[in-house]
Amino acid sequence: MSAPAQTRNRTDGIPAALVGLVAVAAGCLWALDAVHRPDLAGQAPAWFWGAIVAIWLAAWWATDRLARAVPPAPAARRMLDLLVPILFGAFLLFLWEIVTVGAGVPLVLMPPPSAIGARLVQSLPILAEDFVQTVLRAVIPGWALGSGLGIAIAVLCDRLPFLRRGLMPIGNFVSALPMIGIAPIMVMWFGFDWQSKVAVVVVMTFFPALVNTVAGLSASGALERDLMRSYAADWATTLLKLRLPAAMPFVFNALKINSTLALIGAIVAEFFGTPILGMGFRISTEVGRMSLDMVWAEIAVAAVTGSVFYGLLALAERRITFWHPSYRRR
């Protein structure tokens, strides 16, 4: 049910919720301490799991109050918007730790977050090397090149209708293909180092950029285009002043899709042959060596990288397409 317009200030739930959260945090600390004791680890009894469920319900109640609250100050509102997902994530990590330690899951299947965090801190130099090899040498250049080419060809298609009519059906077809399958072929063609990974990323990101930009270039309204024509603006001016800006939401959509595609593409390509560094190399090798804590540390780095990448693009999009109705205050 959508509530009536959210302009009314509602802060009455916050104090109770904060008290609840403090209680939940205390409960979590107790559980963490208890679960690592030798008499509980790996053989937690039913009453312990009952306590965990109780903590969960309390946490739900508190976050629910927080999520419904609307403080008057915008700064406080933003704080709340950040606080709620952070609490949720922290609680997920807590559950992961409790379940893996409490149920005695073997380390080689699912290490607890504490072990992963410890490994992450220990192996920072290795993780940094892998990050440079995979993200800075393969993902970013490939993503920029593939997306840039896609946008450029889209503009060219726009200028040459023949090309558009010929290329678009092919583009639509290819953008739905499982492009990941070309990874072994690219390793065969471009060798083992970052060049082959860039090639995979370029191919994977090119078509979404092309298809989305072409769709975006026809997004401006007939009214605005008529206005441009009444100014006697030529094709280039119309493109720069009206149609490219109007296409920006579509372009950013493609860039955001491509950011996750690029990361996945580079890591998968590394499964098919690499020098002895890189995220994909490390993940597949360490699985073979039973160092699952290292695997998850690498996955954590990848996930943070992907989230930051996506977040930066979302910020840029806000700045550039501030006029778009989806950013209006509801």
Partner 1 sequence: MTTEAALPTRPAPHGARGGGRAAADILFGGQTGPVLVIVGVILAIWYAACLPMNSGLPSMPAEGDLAARYQAAWSLERPVLPSPHQIVMELRVSTCGRLPSDQPFWSAFFSCEIRWTPRNLLFHAWTTLSSTLVGFLMGGLLGVVLAVLIVHIKTLEKSLLPWIIASQTVPILAVAPIVIVVLGSLGITGLIPKSIISAYLCFFPVTIGMVKGLTSPHPIDLDLMRTYDASAWATFWKLRWPAALPFLFASLKVAIAISLVGAIVGELPTGAQAGLGARLLTGSYYGQTVQIWAALIAAAALAALAVAAVGLAERITVAALGGRR
Partner 2 sequence: MNRTLLAVGIAAFGLTAATAAGAQEKVTLQLKWVTQAQFAGYYVAKDKGFYKEAGLDVTVKPGGPDIAPPQVLAGGGADVIVEWMPAALAAREKGVPLVNIAQPFKRSGMMLTCRKDSGIKSSADFKGKTLGVWFFGNEYPFMAWMSRLGIKTDGSAGGVKVIKQGFNVDPILQKQAECISTMTYNEYWQVIDAGIKADDLVTFKYADQGVATMEDGLYASEEKLKDPKFVERMGKFVKASMKGWDWARANPTEAAKIVLDNDTTGAQTEKHQVRMMGEINKLTDGSTGKLAEADYAQTVKTLLTAGGEAPVITKEPKGAWTAAVTDAAGIK
Q: What's 231-245 look like in SS3?
A: CCCCHHHHHHHHHHH
What is the residue type of 250?
F
Footprint (CB under 8 A) of partner 1, residues 37-66: 60, 63-64
The answer to whether residues 277 and 133 touch, using CB atoms and an 8 Å cutoff, is: yes
How many whole angstroms separate alpha carbon 33 and alpha carbon 35? Answer: 6
Write down the least CB distance from residue 36 to partner 1, Å. Answer: 23
# residues contacting partner 1 (CB under 8 A): 74
* 34 to 63: interface string for partner 2, x by CB under 8 A: --------x---------------------
Write down the least CB distance from residue 224 to partner 1, Å. Answer: 11
CA distances from 75 to 70, 81, 169, 190 (A): 11, 10, 48, 51
For 274: left if phi > 0, alpha if psi spans -120 to 50, otherwise beta; the answer is beta
Let me know the angle formed at the C-alpha of 164 by 161 and 170, rounded to the nearest 5 degrees: 155
The answer to whether residues 171 and 153 touch, using CB atoms and an 8 Å cutoff, is: no
**Binding piece for partner 2, criterion CB under 8 A, among 61-69, 75-83, 98-106, 153-161:** 98-106
Query: Per rule CB under 8 A, is residue 165 in the interface with partner 1?
Result: yes
Footprint (CB under 8 A) of partner 1, residues 283-322: 283-284, 287, 292, 295, 298-299, 302-307, 309-310
Query: Per rule CB under 8 A, is residue 260 in the interface with partner 1?
Result: yes
The torsion defined by the Cα of 234, 237, 242 and 246, in degrees rounded to 10, comes to: 110
Write down the least CB distance from residue 218 to partner 1, Å. Answer: 5
Which tokens sit at 269? 């390509």
Query: Per rule CB under 8 A, is residue 184 in the interface with partner 1?
Result: yes
Query: Per rule CB under 8 A, is residue 223 in the interface with partner 2?
Result: no
SS3 state at 70:
strand
CA nearest to 112, candidates 127, 122, 102, 126: 102
Footprint (CB under 8 A) of partner 2, residues 278-317: 281, 284-285, 287-291
> Taking the mean position of all CA atoms in its chain, how far away is CA 110?
23
**Binding piece for partner 1, criterion CB under 8 A, among 17-25, 120-128, 162-170, 192-200:** 162-170
> Taking the mean position of all CA atoms in its chain, how far away is CA 296?
17
How many whole angstroms separate alpha carbon 127 and alpha carbon 307? Answer: 17
The nearer residue to partner 2, 114 or 285, going by C-beta atoms, is 285
Query: Per rule CB under 8 A, is residue 185 in the interface with partner 1?
Result: yes
**Binding piece for partner 1, criterion CB under 8 A, among 94-102, 113-121, 145-153, 259-267:** 259-267
How many whole angstroms separate alpha carbon 297 and alpha carbon 113? Answer: 9
**Binding piece for partner 2, criterion CB under 8 A, among 17-25, 107-115, 167-175, 253-261:** 107-115
The nearer residue to partner 1, 141 or 184, going by C-beta atoms, is 184
Query: Per rule CB under 8 A, is residue 254 in the interface with partner 1?
Result: no
The nearer residue to partner 2, 61 or 96, going by C-beta atoms, is 96
Query: Per rule CB under 8 A, is residue 152 in the interface with partner 2?
Result: no
How many whole angstroms separate alpha carbon 152 and alpha carbon 158? Answer: 10
Applying CB under 8 A, among 167, 209, 251, 254 the residue interacting with partner 1 is: 167
How many whole angstroms separate alpha carbon 253 and alpha carbon 190? Answer: 30
The nearer residue to partner 1, 47 or 162, going by C-beta atoms, is 162
Where do contacts with partner 2 occur on this chain (CB under 8 A)?
42, 92, 95-96, 99-100, 103-110, 184, 187-188, 191-192, 271-276, 281, 284-285, 287-291
